[in-house]
Chain A
C-alpha cells in the first residue's frame, strides 16, 4: 500500500510538467466528436469496399495507424488538438471494426456484444477510480490516467456501435428516427447535467450516445432521397465533415496557443 503510494507520487513528480492531455468539454468538442464518428466509419468503409482492400487488411492498417497516433498523443506533454482528434477518429474506426468483427466474423449476437462492452466500460471506470480516486477528465495528467481514458473511449465506441446496430436490427430503427431519438437522449443527458447530475456520469453517457448519433446523422445526409436521406452521398458527406473537423481543430489550436502565450508571459514575470 505504502510502496504503491510512493511509486504513484514518483510517477506524478516525474510527469509534473504534464498538462491536462484532453480537451475541455465545449460545444466545439461535441461537434468535432460527433463528426469524427461519422468520418471514421465512412473512411474505413471506403478503404474496404471502394478501394477494395477488404475487411481484414483495412482492419490491420487502421490498427497500425491507431497505435502510431496513440504513441504520438501519449508522448505529448500537453493537449495538442490534432494529435488528440486524429487518435479519436482512429479509435472510432477501430472500435467499430472490433464490434463488426465480432458480429460479422464470429457471429456474436449484438445483445451479447452490447452487454459485454457495457460491462467492460463500467469495469474500466471501476478500476480507474480504484487506482486514481478520481474520474475527472480535467486532470488527465499522468500516463496511467490517460491510459484509462483511452481504454474508456475505445469501449464507448465499441458499445456505441453494438447498441446502435442492435437498435437497427432489433427495433428496426432507421436513421431518421435514430437522429431524433439519440439526439433527444443526448439532450436529456445535457439537461440532467445542467440540473446538477454528476458531471462524469453525464459526460460518458453523452459520449457513448454520440456514436450512434454520428452514424445516424451521417446516414441521414448521405443516403438517397428515395430512402428519406438528403442524398449527398458518402463521399461528399465525409469530405464536408472532415473539412469542418479540420477547421474546428485548427481554430482550437490557434485559440489554445493564444491562451497559452499570455499565461507563459505572466509566468515569466
Chain B
C-alpha cells in the first residue's frame, strides 16, 4: 500500500532526524536532551519557598486567614511554572505538588487547626529542600 510505504519512509526520516546528529559521537541525539537521572533536580525553588516561609510566619502569629490568603500566591505561581519545572524532574515535582496540596487542605479547612497548618507547611519546606540540590 502506497500510504503505508510513505508512512514508513516518514518514520525513517523522523528517526534519522532524531538519531542522525549524534551518529558521529556514537550516542543518540536524545541522549543530549534527556538529563541523566542522577542530575535531576527542580532547580531554584526560592520564590516558592519564600511564600511558604511567609505563610508559616503568619500561622505562628496566629493569623490563619492571612496565611490562607498568602498561600494562594503559591497556587498560582506553582501552577504557572509547571511546564518549566515538571520536565526537570517529574517525580520530585509530584512530591512537592502533593505536599502543596496537603498544605492547602489544612489551611483551607472549614475550621483550620494551627498545629496541623504548621506541620503541613513544615513538611512542604522539607519537600522543597529535598527536591532542590539533590544529586
A22 to B26, CA, bound (A): 48
Q: Mark A158-191, 1 if CB is under 8 A from B, else 0.
A: 0000000000111111110100010011001101
Contact B88 A172 (CB under 8 A): yes
Main secondary structure of the interface of A (DSSP, over half): helix
A175 to B34, CA, bound (A): 13
Contacts of B81 in A (CB 8 A): 223-224, 227
Main secondary structure of the interface of B (DSSP, over half): helix
A227 to B43, CA, bound (A): 10
Would you give the shortest CB distance from B89 to chain A, in whole angstroms? 7
A45 to B17, CA, bound (A): 34
> Does A228 have its Cβ within 8 Å of any Cβ on chain B?
yes
A174 to B2, CA, bound (A): 35
List chain B positions with a Cβ less than 8 A from chain A: 2-3, 6-7, 9-10, 13-14, 17-18, 30, 33-35, 40, 75-76, 79-81, 83-90
Q: Which residue of B13, B30, B34, B75 is within 8 Å of A49 (Cβ)?
A: B75
List chain A positions with a Cβ less than 8 A from chain B: 45, 49-50, 168-175, 177, 181, 184-185, 188-189, 191-192, 195-198, 201, 215, 219, 222-224, 227-229, 234
Contact A172 B14 (CB under 8 A): no
The 3 A-B pairs of least Cβ separation, nearest first, read A198-B3, A197-B6, A227-B84
Given contacts A174-B87, A184-B14, contact A201 B34 (CB under 8 A): no
Closest to B84 in A: A227
Contact B76 A49 (CB under 8 A): yes
| A-B CB contact pairs (8 Å), 5 listed | A49-B76, A175-B83, A175-B84, A192-B10, A195-B9
A184 to B14, CA, bound (A): 8
Contacts of B6 in A (CB 8 A): 192, 195-198
A223 to B84, CA, bound (A): 7
A198 to B89, CA, bound (A): 39
Contacts of A50 in B (CB 8 A): 76
Contact A172 B34 (CB under 8 A): yes
Contacts of A192 in B (CB 8 A): 6-7, 9-10
Closest to B32 in A: A177
Contact B2 A172 (CB under 8 A): no
Contacts of A172 in B (CB 8 A): 34-35, 40, 87-90
Given contacts A49-B79, A196-B2, A234-B80, contact A189 B10 (CB under 8 A): yes
Would you give the shortest CB distance from B33 to chain A, in whole angstroms? 5
